[in-house]
Chains A and B, each alone.
Chain A
Amino acid sequence: MALQDADALFQHKIDNEIKIEPKDFMPEAYRKTNIRQISQHAHSEIVGMLPEANWISRAPSLKRKAILLAKVQDEAGHGLYLYSAAETLGTSRDEMINDLHIGKAKYSSIFNYPSLTWADMGVIGWLVDGAAILNQVALCRTSYGPYARALVRICKEESFHQRQGFDSLLVLSKGTPAQKEMCQDAINRWWWPSLMMFGPKDSESTNNDQSIKWKIKRKTNDELRQSFVDMAAEQVKVLGMVLPDEKLKWNSQKNQYDFGEINWVEFWNVVKGNGPCNKQRLAARVKAHEDGAWVREAAIAFAEKRKMKREILKEPAI
């Protein structure tokens, strides 16, 4: 089959919602884009553990501690499925992790903000997992099969995280004055960074067109951001709190909320590595990896020893 036909067949499959599987033909750029996107998503899950792990030792009740521990553990699980999905495209976890550690691969910038109070745990669940869900639900129908299947599983757990986050905020919102203040303060700090999670404006995003044509991406950044604002603007009322945006207003003509402008200078600054925690987050990941090197080496050495022993035992006796 000529390459041209293969390309046409590939696009035909995409157009007809037939999933692309690891052994199928795919254009090199499609493979690369998927590796980039899936590994970036995996890194975000793993780096995203850090701001929340920061509060595990200080959770205010045993029940909240258990919920938080289990949540952060889920994120590790997400990272695991995603690294495996990316590996089906011919890369390895080691390679991907190395790219993260040398600063070549990105992760979601939201995790470069600090988690300062207990209320941040609730707000991260509500807004950060909430924004991730919108992104990911749109991706559950993405064209690459292993990624789409990993996402279905992940989305279920993310919705659960979002509900738990909101639930813990609801408790704060009905609590003491100090708890209410803590809740509003956390919303104030996380609101704009959450909006930034959807990426640059469509007019400035470089990857959108091709990704939409290949159905790697199913909705544009701005579309997703708008749904997020519409959702959060209603939910925040249940908490009796406000979103820190004076321009936020229901627009009955468009049937959606109008909202203010994101601080794009801050956005690009954090992307470029100047966020409040970029250095600490990466340093924490690198340290864990380096401290664990002897453990991984020992596990490999031991497995090899055992394999040799088994082979010796397998030799026929006579």
Chain B
Amino acid sequence: MIRLVGILVGIGFTFVVLLAFVTGAYTAATEGLGEETAEKAFHLEAHGPAGGFAHDGLTPEWDLAQLQRGYQVYKEVCSACHSLEFVAFRNLEDLGYSEDEVKAEAAAWVVPDINPDTGENSTRPGTPTDYFPSPYANDVAAAAANNNAIPPDLSLITKARHHGPEYVYSLLTGYQEPSAELAARFPDSVPGPGLYHNPYFANLNLAMAPPLTTDGQVTYADGTEATVSQMSQDVAAFLTWAAEPSLVDRVKLGWIVMGFLLFVTVLAWLAKKSVWSTLKTRKD
């Protein structure tokens, strides 16, 4: 009985799903497999800078000099529009700054506060325990200043995109004029006013004007030449640290754990072998 009902139910589901298949296949045969879109034709996969990042792979390191340069780019360029809400000034000690340097650095930022006498909103210099302040009072102000797009918080950006560090690098170096082919085939995908073409961005046009445009836009304290590519990879490395300060420690600890587990597993295998060796096996 169960088997009979089962066969009927099975044939029922199969029939309905095959009906859907037949209609789908008919549409595909008569109209083709969906329309070509500009995103499909012109979107490019993210790539990292030549030589990659120091934090890549199974033996990652933080390149502290690079992180400091990247921080400088964030501070002097990106922070005009983007917040970094999960990072506190005290975290900058990770980048190799001393406690006093962090104090001085924090004091150079202005953070929101409340006037203790009047209760009104006010500001004061930052302290190490403060978090990076947001450039805009709220999302409405952020959108109003940026052609209706809200600049996302950057503290998790490298984890919030596929191949995040490479993506940030590609995005910053990837701005270009839309090709004539794109304009001819997909006139709707040519950037309108206030939008900029970038084949690494998911829908090809974004509201962020190219933030890094000229070599020497920042003057690096360590004398490194500030090309657009250099600044882009530095800030990408910095944002990778900002998204996951524990990355390098995690992988290093991972090797210790793996070594220990490997040792224990070999012991367990030997133990298993010795326990089972007392049993008779096939006598051929």
Chain A bound to chain B: no
Which residues of A are in contact with B by a Cβ distance under 8 Å?
none
Which residues of B are in contact with A by a Cβ distance under 8 Å?
none
